[in-house]
């Protein structure tokens, strides 16, 4: 891929759009578009505090993570039946296919639903059915990662884990999301120890609104294999060195970072600093219905705002997304080959 230095700049947007890629940080509840929220509300007889799709979209004006979470949980109120979770997943997968995503590892928040009286079986089976449909109809592989809500107690997390274990074959890992501030990783050290005993893959949000120390604690106290977000690692040079040395991936979400004021503008984003440090950075959409774009939009806006990013970085980010995924080495090798084919074709002419 050394010839990427000669890759035509005008072809870069097409490369970003058409290269195969994996998405490793997407909250399936955060893919609920206003149109689907209204459709599900009508189907399920749920009354919303908004009189139109546009009124709901207008409400997507956040000042911080908490103001986003408030409306995020309100949107989830329309999810009542297994078919709702299937339909939500499939709406995302159709967008993923359009973005040339070949693999997605979906976060889901069962506590958001069990607190409303929805069984965890309904949630998991609906999402798993969506994953199966996406595999059969769209050729997208996927996996589910169950996330604990960190603003709730560890006792609640333990209860959620026990409820989920009868359906263990349908999810591959455990994550930690929701409000970082005031909810350090150490709060969940015991439940994550139990998850590791069960052989579950371990990830956690850290270093977005929370400090760099939360990243270190997620590594040491939770045993995470991937850091979700992690952009504040640069505040601790020794931590950066460790992340590079241990090849701990960061699932960075550019549009989310701007929407939630982690950075003022995309031009201020530190992704180039992270890449130059040798970190295994991946690009993801987080909660795309709320944050202004799915995966390709994140790539296009980030590369548009940061002109030092070029085709070499695009390919590196795509490779990282495969390497950081929880799939077999053989599958990663196949995706690397598909990426090389796309680059070779693009250098000769347009890719369909």
Average pLDDT in the 123-128 region?
98
Burial of 350: CB neighbours in 10 Å, binned 0-12, 13-18, 19+:
exposed
Is the confidence at residue 5, as pLDDT, over 90? no
Across all residues in the chain, what is the average pLDDT? Answer: 95
35-42: average pLDDT? 94
**Cα Rg, the chain, nearest whole Å:** 19
**Domain assignment of residue 1, yes or no:** no
| Beta sheet of 141-149, edge-to-edge order | 21-27, 101-108, 141-149, 173-177, 201-206, 226-229, 250-252, 281-283
In a domain, residue 145? The reply is yes
**19 and 339 Cβ atoms separated by less than 8 Å:** yes
Residue 115 structure tokens:
């607190």
Q: Enumerate the H helices of 10-81 as residue ranges.
A: 12-18, 34-44, 53-58, 65-75
245: Cα separation from own chain's centroid: 23
In this model, does residue 311 exceed pLDDT 80?
yes
Beta bridge partners of 207: none
- Per the model's pLDDT, the better-predicted residue between 3 and 145 turns out to be 145
Residue 315 lies in a domain: yes
Average pLDDT over residues 79-90: 98
Catalytic residue set: 208
Range of the domain at 22: 10-348
82 is a domain residue: yes
Is 116 within the bounds of a domain?
Answer: yes
Evaluate whether residue 2 is within a structural domain.
no
Helices and strands, number each (H, E), in the chain: 17, 8
Distance (Å, whole) CA 346 – CA 350: 5
∠ CA 190-195-199 to the nearest 5 degrees? 145
CATH code, 337: 3.20.20.140
Q: How many CB atoms lie within 10 A of CB 277?
A: 16
Three-state DSSP state, 245: helix
> Bridge-partner residues for 146, per DSSP?
108, 174
Check if the beta carbon of residue 336 is closer than 8 Å to that of residue 320: no
Q: Which residues contact 136 (CB under 8 A, 6 or more apart)?
A: none
- Which of residues 115 and 66 earns the better pLDDT score? 115
User: How many residues can be counted in the chain?
Assistant: 352
How far is Cα 279 from Cα 260, in angstroms, rounded to an integer? 23
Q: What is the dihedral of CA 267, 272, 241, 213, to 10 degrees?
A: 20
Q: Is residue 3 part of a domain?
A: no
Share of the chain above pLDDT 90, in %: 86
Model pLDDT, residue 352: 54
**pTM score, two decimals?**
0.95
Q: What is the pLDDT of residue 3?
A: 65
Rounded Cα gap, residues 138 and 344, in angstroms: 24
pLDDT score of 4: 81
In angstroms, the CA 174 to CA 204 distance is 8
Interval 211-247: pLDDT, tens? 999 999 999 999 999 999 999 999 999 999 999 999 9
Number of domains making up the chain: 1
Over pLDDT 70: what percentage of the chain? 98
The predicted structure's pLDDT at residue 1: 45
Q: Tell me if 103 is assigned to some domain.
A: yes
């Amino acid at each position: 891929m050394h010839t990427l230095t000669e890759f035509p700049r005008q072809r870069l947007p097409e490369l970003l759009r058409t290269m195969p890629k994996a998405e490793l940080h997407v909250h399936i509840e955060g893919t609920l578009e206003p149109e689907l929220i209204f459709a599900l509300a009508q189907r399920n007889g749920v009354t919303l505090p908004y009189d139109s799709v546009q009124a709901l979209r207008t409400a997507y004006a956040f000042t911080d993570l908490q103001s986003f979470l408030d409306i995020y949980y309100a949107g989830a109120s329309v999810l009542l039946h297994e078919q709702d979770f299937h339909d939500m997943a499939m709406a995302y997968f159709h967008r993923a296919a359009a973005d040339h995503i070949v693999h997605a590892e979906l976060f889901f928040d069962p506590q958001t639903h069990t607190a409303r009286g929805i069984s965890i079986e309904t949630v998991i089976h609906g999402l798993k059915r969506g994953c199966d449909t996406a595999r059969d109809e769209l050729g997208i592989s996927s996996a589910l990662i169950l996330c604990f809500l960190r603003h709730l107690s560890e006792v609640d997390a333990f209860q959620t884990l026990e409820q989920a274990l009868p359906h263990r074959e349908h999810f591959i890992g455990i994550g930690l999301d929701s409000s970082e501030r005031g909810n350090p990783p150490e709060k969940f050290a015991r439940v994550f120890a139990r998850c590791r005993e069960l052989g579950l893959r371990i990830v956690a949000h850290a270093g977005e609104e929370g400090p760099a120390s939360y990243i270190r604690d997620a590594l040491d106290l939770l045993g995470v294999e991937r850091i979700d977000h992690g952009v504040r690692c640069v505040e601790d040079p020794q931590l950066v060195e460790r992340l590079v040395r241990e090849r701990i991936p960061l699932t960075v979400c550019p549009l989310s970072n701007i929407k939630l004021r982690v950075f003022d503008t995309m031009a201020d984003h530190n992704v180039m600093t992270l890449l130059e440090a040798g970190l295994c950075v991946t690009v993801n959409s987080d909660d795309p219905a709320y944050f202004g774009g799915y995966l390709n939009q994140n790539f296009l806006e980030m590369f548009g705002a940061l002109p030092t990013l070029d085709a070499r970085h695009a390919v590196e980010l795509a490779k990282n997304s495969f390497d950081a995924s929880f799939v077999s080495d053989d599958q990663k090798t196949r995706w690397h080959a598909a990426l090389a084919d796309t680059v070779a074709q693009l250098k000769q002419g347009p890719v369909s």
